[in-house]
Amino acid sequence: MLSHHLKLLTIASFAIVLSAGAVTMQPSAHAEETKPAADQTAQAQPAAGEEEDLVDADGVPQYIVKDGKVDKGTYNGYRRYSATCHVCHGPDGAGSTFAPALVDSLKRMDYWAFTDTVTNGRANGASVMPAFGTDPNVMNHLGDIYRYLKARSDEKIGRGRPERFKS
Amino acid sequence: MKPFLRSLLVTAAMCAATTAYANDSVLKNQKDPNNWALQLGDYAGQRYSTLNQITRDNVKDLRVAWSFSTGVLRGHEGGPIVIGDTMFIHTPFPNTVYALDLNDRGRVKWKYEPKQDAAAIPVMCCDTVNRGVAVADGKVFLAQADNNLVALDAENGKVLWKTSNGDISKGETMTAAPLVVKDKVLVGISGGEFGVRGHLTAYDINTGKMAWRAMSTGPDKDVMIDPSKTLMLGKPIGEADLGVKTWPNDGWKLGGGTTWGWTTYDPELDLIYYGTGNPGTWNPTQRTKDGKPADNKWSMTIFARDPDTGEAKWVYQKTPFDEWDYDGVNENILADINIDGKQRKVLVNFDRNGFAYTIDRTNGELLKAAKFDPKVNWATGVDMKTGRPQTVEKFSTFANGEDTNSQGICPAALGSKDQQPASFSPQTGLFYVPTNHICMDYEPFEVSYSAGQPYVGATLSMYPAPESHGGMGNFIAYDAAAGKIVWSKPEQFAVWSGALTTAGGVGFYGTLEGYLKAFDLKDGKELYSFKTPSGIIGNVNTYQHKGKQYVAVLSGIGGWAGIGLAAGLTNSTDGLGAVGAHSSLGDYTQLGGVLTVFEVPSK
């Protein structure tokens, strides 16, 4: 417990570095009306202790890239993405013949729309995204998966396995 | 040995069977070289044709005779069936079937387009592929994505009967081609990445009533094993219920061992052969017993069964306690070859794990096991006494542990070869094998099971085999009697198309960029290539119509190859973000289902 608490403190100090402009991050661009209903937000919240609490004032998960290395949450996001999402969306969020490149999608889609799509799925003719709302391997790591894909989409990290900095 | 001399030592195998066994119509159809009667050419799975109008001399004049758009994007696996004047082709989801009139350059005689629940789409791991129809007794059998097995009237496409073989909400789907043996149609089930417990099921071809179902894991009764009779490495298994005992707790219920590959059949021995896939979850630690590796039987196993009763005659587990997703479903090609001076009835399996197994198909005795890609490194060899792979500690994702990234494992999870079927030429005595040349890093971690959701538990990154030619595939000729690669032709991308060999001395395969290639069976020399509209993951066939030989193939990039390779692969040694432009499949081809039929113009 103590070590976890210490870890959070360390992360908070990185967050300060971040706001000082060491790494540029896109602020969440969502419009007020696209914010999901309270119950959906609740569904998207990770289980306590499952992921890092690095979020902005609106609750949008943030990533940290330092000297090309990523925070623990972003790294976890890479692993979870590569276990579940990549079988359709291709390695590294780069897209496939079957499903779109999420590195592009996240340039247009904000965190709330991302959360809604992953949780509830989406269908467009023969193109179908399943609902992962009941999948603990996804829902408990949703913020981290977003962190990873957002960092990829913002071109802060490249393809392949990112390296984690020690916290 | 010279190929022609070798051919004297090889019998044509199988095609002479005229007993009342098997399905008489299938036997009659496969005997006539004008037809391409089964997905794998014949019951033996040789993908060999005795047609010889197209030769190594005139194949350079090959040209497109006609083509046909299937109207469906997505990956087109499998291939056309030709019986008499009709060609039957199929598509990925929604699994449209067309009967095309060969007397009228492919005019549509009838079209069957099922209305399927789109919820099947996202639970199909790795694209909505389908590996083709089976035709027997005037019926066309289709295994639909939504688990409906359908019998259509071959004359008009009307549904004769329909039965459900699984449940989408559990992640079960169907992608494999059915096989008709006697009065039964056999089908497998997909969903190895969803914790699905695999099975092979037989239905009555006339009524659709289930005759038997043999599970891949669980108690002997479910697996249809008799431990006192069913052989393993030539001896009875002895111990009961290994399909339960080799799993932690109730792990066998989420055991995987799905059956999405091909089934072959020996009418004389009256045995069917097929393989089971990877055990549930790619994280080996979750499949241990008391913290120790457990075999997870009967995943990764070749089964020989009685087609009437489903009883297992023999079993052979290729990769006990899988730690790499070496999904053991690849086809078992039946051939009679001379091994160490003795004519043997063998089965040859080019497994995902990179080993080619030559097995006595009468009793399951292991005769040879050798690497068919020299880069294979997860095991040094196979112990011929125990049949077990001699694994290398460094590449053991279990020994390295959860949350540890094991690097440089060859082959990658998609295997040295995936479902793309190989071919055997009785003329040369060699096997012609489309292969992948890709390695991986693999990091297992703990996952939870949730019905109908992915149950994977590992992160992996793949890249072209290091310190090699830089490409991601090879097309090879393999001598299964000697256990040796005879020649190997590098390819830029994994070769994901089923091979064809012919009595004209010419072989064919397709590439992911979309080329149909013809090669000399002797030395692999490329004799012809043509770029079809989309990448080829379908299987090449040949048939004869009105006295003229044709070659036909479905294009349509997709499948696992289209997902994993579409954006190119990263090479971990190149550092982050480095992707060779050459490795991006998207630069070469795009989606689109098209049938292309080739001919050599008449003089």
Q: Which tokens is A129 given?
A: 């995204």
pLDDT for position A40: 36
Question: Among this protein's residues, is B418 annotated catalytic?
Answer: no
Query: Are B563 and A88 within 8 A, CB to CB?
Result: yes
CA distance B459 to chain A (A): 5
Query: Are B566 and A96 within 8 A, CB to CB?
Result: yes
The residue among B417, B557, B411 whose CA lies nearest residue B476 is B417
Exposure string over A40-77, b if 16+ CB within 10 A, otherwise e: eeebbebeeebbbebeeeeebbbbbbeeeebbbbbbbb
pLDDT for position A52: 54
Query: Are A97 and B591 within 8 A, CB to CB?
Result: yes
Strands B148-153 and B139-143: antiparallel
pLDDT for position A36: 37
What is the spatial distance between Cα B554 and Cα B557, in angstroms, rounded to a whole number? Answer: 10
Q: B560 phi and psi, to 5 degrees?
A: -55, -40
Compute the count of residue pairs across chains A and B with CB atoms less than 8 Å apart.
125
CA distance B124 to chain A (A): 9
What is the spatial distance between Cα A140 and Cα A119, in angstroms, rounded to a whole number? Answer: 11
pLDDT for position B15: 39
Number of domains in chain B: 1
Chain A residues close to B405, C-beta within 8 Å = 161
SS3 B502: strand
Query: Are A98 and B570 within 8 A, CB to CB?
Result: no
Catalytic residue of the set B325, B327, B351, B373: B325
Q: Band of the pLDDT at A160, cuts 50, 70, 90? A: confident
- Look at residue A125 and tell me whether its pLDDT is greater than 90: no
pLDDT for position B349: 98
Query: Tell me, which fold does domain A2-26+38-164 have in CATH?
Result: Cytochrome Bc1 Complex; Chain D, domain 2 (1.10.760)
pLDDT for position B392: 98
Query: Are A91 and B448 within 8 A, CB to CB?
Result: no
How far does CA A130 lie from the centroid of its chain?
18
Query: Are B447 and A129 within 8 A, CB to CB?
Result: no
Chain A residues close to B397, C-beta within 8 Å = none
Q: Which tens digits make up the pLDDT trace of A3-13?
A: 443 333 333 33
Residue A39 burial (C-beta neighbours within 10 Å; 0-12, 13-18, 19+):
exposed
- Look at residue A45 and tell me whether its pLDDT is greater than 60: no
What is the spatial distance between Cα B216 and Cα B184, in angstroms, rounded to a whole number? Answer: 19
Chain B residues close to A91, C-beta within 8 Å = 461-462, 564, 567, 569-570
What is the spatial distance between Cα B267 and Cα B278, in angstroms, rounded to a whole number? Answer: 28
Q: Identify the residue among B74, B168, B450 best suited for mutation to test binding to A, counting A beta carbons within 10 A and taking the highest.
A: B450
Chain A residues close to B462, C-beta within 8 Å = 91
Question: Which element (helix H / strand E) includes B30?
Answer: helix B24-31
Its sign, for the CA torsion B239, B241, B243, B244, is negative
Query: Are A97 and B562 within 8 A, CB to CB?
Result: yes
Q: How many CB atoms lie within 10 A of CB B239?
A: 11
User: Which portions of chain B are predicted below pLDDT 70?
Assistant: 1-22, 567, 570-583
Nearest by CB to B460, from A82, A98, A138: name it.
A82
Chain B residues close to A142, C-beta within 8 Å = none
Residue span of the structural domain in which B324 resides: 3-599
Q: Where are the domains of chain A?
A: 2-26+38-164
Nearest by CB to B127, from A98, A129, A161: name it.
A98
List residues of chain A with CB under 8 Å from any CB of chain B. 68, 78-79, 82-84, 86-88, 90-92, 94-99, 101, 121, 123, 126-130, 132, 134-138, 157-163
What is the spatial distance between Cα B99 and Cα B48, in angstroms, rounded to a whole number? Answer: 23
Query: Are A98 and B564 within 8 A, CB to CB?
Result: no
Chain A residues close to B73, C-beta within 8 Å = 126
CA distance A4 to chain B (A): 18
The residues that bridge with B215 in the sheet, in sequence order, are B199
Question: Which element (helix H / strand E) includes A116?
Answer: helix A111-120
CATH code of B460's domain:
2.140.10.10
Q: Which residues lie below 8 Å from residue B346, measured CB to CB, with a gap of 6+?
A: B334, B335, B336, B337, B339, B358, B359, B360, B361, B367, B480
Its sign, for the CA torsion B288, B290, B291, B293, is negative
pLDDT for position B583: 65
3-state SS, one letter per residue, for B346-407: EEEEECCCCEEEEEECCCCCEEEEEECCCCCCCEEEECCCCCCEEECHHHCHHHHCCCCCEE
pLDDT for position A11: 35
Query: Are B453 and A91 within 8 A, CB to CB?
Result: no
Q: Which tokens is A109 given?
A: 């889609």
CA distance A13 to chain B (A): 26
